[in-house]
Structure 1
Amino acid sequence: MPALVVFDCFGTVVTELTPMPEAPELARRLAASLELPAATAAAVLDDLIGTLWTALTEPAAEQPASRLLLARILDEHGVSADAAAVDRTLWHVLGPDDGRFRLCAPAAEAMVRTAAAGHTVRMVSTCYLPGDQMRRLLAGLGVPDVLDACLFSADGGPKKPDPRAFAAVGVGDFTRRVMVGDTPHNDIAPARELGWDTVQVDPAAPDFTPLHALLGI
C-alpha cells in the first residue's frame, strides 16, 4: 500500500551552510528595505524576532503568521507599509539572498525515488518565511517538484513538535505514515508517539538508505 512520507525541510532537505545573520545585519537589511532609521529598524526587528522566538520555544504555542505579524509591528512603530513592502522585507531580511542554503542531493534523490514508487510526498517546516516564499526558496534550490502538500509554520498555526502540526500535514486516507527528519525532539519523537514510522537523518552525513529499506524501494 502507498504510504505518506513527510520530509522535514531544514537539516533534512535543505542544508544550512551558515547560521542566520546576527541582529545588527538583519536590522540593516530591514532598514534598507523600508528606508527606515537604524533605531526604528532595530526596534521593529527586536519585536519581530522576539515574538517569533517566544512562539518557537514553546512547543504548544501556535506560531503567528509572519506577514500579519510584521505588518502589525510596523504599524505599532508608526511605519506605513503596504502588502508588497511587507513581502519584500520578509524576503530581504529572512530569505536566502545571502547564499545560506543548499539542496541536500541525497534528500532530493530520496524524494524523487519515493514519489516514483507511488508514495505521497509532503513537507513540514518550522520556518520564518510564509508558504509562497518558502516554495520560492525551495524552487530556487532545485528541490524536486514532487510535493503533494506542505505545512509551513510561518503561515500561522501549530508547528512541530505539536501533534496538531503532524495531524494537519498527515491528513488523508493513509494506512502508513513516515516522518523523515534530523531532529529527535521536533521530528522523530512526536511522530513516533502518533504511531508513524520514522527515519532520522544526520545532516553531516545524510543517508536515506533506511527510508528506502522501510518502503522497499
Structure 2
Amino acid sequence: MPAVVVFDCFDTVVLSRPLPGPEWFTSCLADVLALDARCAGEVVHTVFGAVLAAMADRSALQPSTLGLLEAALRERGERRERADLEEALWHALGGADPEHYALCAPAADAMRRLAAAGHTVRLLSNCYLPGTLMERLLRRLEVPEVYDRALFTADGGPKKPDPRAFRFIGEGAFERRVMVGDSEELDIEPARALGWDTVRVEPGKPDLTELLALWERP
C-alpha cells in the first residue's frame, strides 16, 4: 500500500550540535555584513526575538527569517544583497562549520528503502535556515534526494505542531500517512491527532525497525 512517509530533519535525519548563543550570531552578522557591533546586536535581538516568540505560540505562523533580517537592516538604514544575507545566516547557524551537522545514516537508509518500495518520502522541519540554505545543507550531507516535497518553516508559514503544517506536507491521495521524528510534542502527538501512523526515534540513533514493519500490518 503506497504511503507518504514524512521525516523530521533535525535529530532524525540530520544530527546537529546545539546552536551557539547571541554573541556568536552578532559576531557573524557584523563580519559577513560589515556592520558595527551595536547594529549587529540590535538586528540579532530583533530577528531572533520575533522567531522565538512565534515558536513559543503553537498556532502562530513562523515569520520568514530572511524577511525579518532584511526588515531589521532596512530600519537601520542598512541594505544588503540577498546572497549576503543568506551567507550571514549560513555562518551564524553553523553551516560553514563542517563538524556542526552530520547525516544520520540509519534514517538516510530508511528513506532510500521506502522510496525504492514505491512510497512517497517528504521532509518537515522547524528550522531557522531558509529553504535555500536547508537544501544546501542537505546536499552537503548527502541526504538522499528521494523526497518530493519539503516544508522548511524558516521560509514563513505554519510550523509543527500546527495541524496546517502536517496537512500541507501530507497532501495527496494516500491511504496511509506516517510521521517519523524525535519529538513527542512536535512530531508524534500532532500527527497522531490527524490519524497518521507515527514512529518516534531516539535522537541521533534511530531504530527504524518499527517504521519498516508498518507495512506488515493490515
Q: Identify the TM-score tier after normalising by the shorter chain.
A: over 0.9
Amino acid at match of 1:34: L
1: distance between equivalents of 2:92 and 2:182?
Answer: 26
Question: Offset of 1:36 from its aligned partner?
Answer: 0.8
Q: Which whole-Å deviations, capped at 9, do the CAs of 1:122-180 have from their partners, x for residues lacking one?
A: 00000011111101101101100101100010111000000000001011111110000
Query: 1:94-109 counterparts in 2 under 5 A?
Result: 94-98=93-97, 99-109=99-109
Question: Offset of 1:74 from its aligned partner?
Answer: 0.8
After superposing on structure 2, the runs of 4+ consecutive aligned residues of structure 1 that deviate more than 6 Å are none
Query: 1:90-129 counterparts in 2 under 5 A?
Result: 90-98=89-97, 99-129=99-129
2: distance between equivalents of 1:31 and 1:53?
Answer: 21
Amino acid at match of 1:189: E
Q: Which residue number in structure 2 is paired with residue 75 of structure 1?
A: 74
Q: Which runs of 5+ in 2 are unaligned?
A: none
Is the 1:4–1:177 contact (alpha carbons within 8 Å) kept by the matching residues of 2? yes
* Pair 1:199-2:168 in alignment: no
The sequence identity of aligned pairs, in percent, is 53
Amino acid at match of 2:68: L
Is the 2:30–2:37 contact (alpha carbons within 8 Å) kept by the matching residues of 1? yes
Q: Which whole-Å deviations, capped at 9, do the CAs of 1:57-94 have from their partners, x for residues lacking one?
A: 11100001111111001111221212222222222222
1: distance between equivalents of 2:216 and 2:69?
Answer: 45
Is the 2:104–2:204 contact (alpha carbons within 8 Å) kept by the matching residues of 1? no
Query: 1:139-154 counterparts in 2 under 5 A?
Result: 139-154=139-154
Aligned-residue CA RMSD in angstroms?
1.3
TM-score of the pair, normalised by structure 2: 0.96
1: distance between equivalents of 2:130 and 2:64?
Answer: 7
2: distance between equivalents of 1:95 and 1:131?
Answer: 15
Amino acid at match of 1:111: M
Query: 1:39-50 counterparts in 2 under 5 A?
Result: 39-50=38-49
Is the 1:95–1:137 contact (alpha carbons within 8 Å) kept by the matching residues of 2? no
Is the 2:162–2:190 contact (alpha carbons within 8 Å) kept by the matching residues of 1? yes
Amino acid at match of 2:54: A
2: distance between equivalents of 1:193 and 1:163?
Answer: 9
Number of aligned residue pairs: give it.
Answer: 216
Q: Which residue number in structure 1 is paired with residue 12 of structure 2?
A: 12
Q: Which residue number in structure 2 is paired with residue 176 of structure 1?
A: 176
Q: Which runs of 5+ in 1 are unaligned?
A: none
